[in-house]
Amino acid sequence: MTPPTSADHGHPTTDSTSGKFHDPKTIRIRPADFNDARDVATVRRLVQGFAHVSNVTLSPSVQDTVAPFLGRRAAFVLLAEDLGSENDTKKPETVAMLIAQRILSSFEAGERINIHDLYVIPEAQGRGIGRRMLSVCADHARALGCSDLTLEVAGDNAAARSLYRTFGFDVPEGEVPEGSVLYGKCPLS
């Protein structure tokens, strides 16, 4: 089953680094097409960007193979495109990515969706795109009959923890031990 697409609605903002106007009304969320070389390159670029902000160095072989690997293994990858942006290829700028997998829940004798990565480029953060991607992911999970969403988040990532908590994940508030990775679950009922 292919994940649905969606438009994100919110307040228009300007990208402070490039001067680009990012109007949340022009954001479209769609599944990545791993048969499209541009989507493969986009996923590779966004994974590298996410690794960079996570202080992770990807080996050259991982950089070369991550997108094809995800195309074979991930349940789905969502891309958020700014349809109002212009670039050299006349394709919309991709500003966010969500990678998720369908996994088993032995205690519920069912399935759930595990969100492996959610990355919004720094210039597009704070515009509701991450929340919209979570919503599209949840809609897709419900359509598949999944009971909930799960994820892990770095304890020091306060912005992500806040987003996940307000979306319905049971991620703790407040201080956590340094280096903590927190597990969160969000029921879909």
pLDDT value, residue 153: 96
pLDDT value, residue 189: 82
Q: Rounded distance, CA 11 to CA 45, Å? A: 26
116: which DSSP letter?
A: E
pLDDT value, residue 86: 63
pLDDT value, residue 182: 96
Q: What is the pTM of this model?
A: 0.83
* Mean pLDDT in consecutive groups of 10 residues from the start of the chain, 189 residues: 44 41 77 92 93 92 90 85 74 92 88 96 92 96 95 94 96 92 94
Find out whether 8 and 137 touch, Cβ atoms under 8 Å: no
Q: Rounded distance, CA 105 to CA 180, Å? A: 24
**The length of the chain, given as a count of residues:** 189
